[in-house]
A = this chain, B = another copy of it.
Amino acid sequence: MLTLQNAGISKTSQRLAVLNILLKATKPLSVSTIRQSIEKEADIDKVTVYRILSLFRKRGIIRKIASAGGANYFEIATLENPLHPHFSCRNCGALTCLAPLPFTKAPELILSKDDYSIDHIEINISGLCACCRNTAKTKTSLHQREE
């Protein structure tokens, strides 16, 4: 089970709050989303959130997902939640998790020589989520996205 303790991170209320939000999430979260899902009275400064996420990443308990739209997203990284591709909807911007693929084969596929040492592979897919595709068929979609 993933706790601050067995990740070797000293326990503070802010770190606990951020960890619990990430544990509950079913998709990667941005910093602003993380902060919004914290009670008003327990508000955490954005700098603190960045520092906590940076620490979590150093300890290997979360990973960062890059997105074309500026912000980065974060999700729990455990054995039960291995690295996997993500789907980014062109219309509403929603970022969802896809089923894990055998990334373990990717290094051999990609590395012909000794040119790179790989420590992270990220696959991001974009298009239309089912929801947006359906609404697009009927009306012109509710929530647009540029990109």
Q: Could you tell me which A residues sit within 8 Å of B by CB distance? A: 64, 66-68, 70, 72, 85, 87, 89-90, 98-99, 101, 106, 109-110, 112, 114-130, 133
Chain B, Cβ-Cβ closest to A121: B125
CB distance from A36 to the nearest CB of B (A): 21
CB distance from A85 to the nearest CB of B (A): 6
With A66-B66, A70-B70, A72-B68 as contacts: A110 and B85 at CB distance below 8 Å: yes
CB distance from A46 to the nearest CB of B (A): 16
Do the beta carbons of B66 and A68 come within 8 Å of each other? yes
Do the beta carbons of B115 and A130 come within 8 Å of each other? yes
Do the beta carbons of A125 and B116 come within 8 Å of each other? yes
Q: How far is the CA of A112 from the CA of B128 in the complex (A)?
A: 15
**Stoichiometry (number of copies):** 2
Chain B, Cβ-Cβ closest to A107: B125
Chain B, Cβ-Cβ closest to A133: B117
User: Which residues of B have CB within 8 Å of A101?
Assistant: 109-110
With A109-B101, A110-B99 as contacts: A66 and B116 at CB distance below 8 Å: no
Do the beta carbons of B127 and A112 come within 8 Å of each other? no
User: Which residues of B have CB within 8 Å of A123?
Assistant: 106, 121-124
Do the beta carbons of A120 and B114 come within 8 Å of each other? no
CB distance from A132 to the nearest CB of B (A): 9
Given contacts A106-B123, A118-B127, 19 further A-B contacts (CB under 8 A): A66-B124, A68-B72, A85-B110, A87-B116, A89-B116, A90-B119, A98-B110, A99-B110, A106-B125, A114-B130, A115-B129, A116-B130, A117-B128, A119-B128, A120-B125, A121-B125, A123-B123, A123-B124, A124-B124
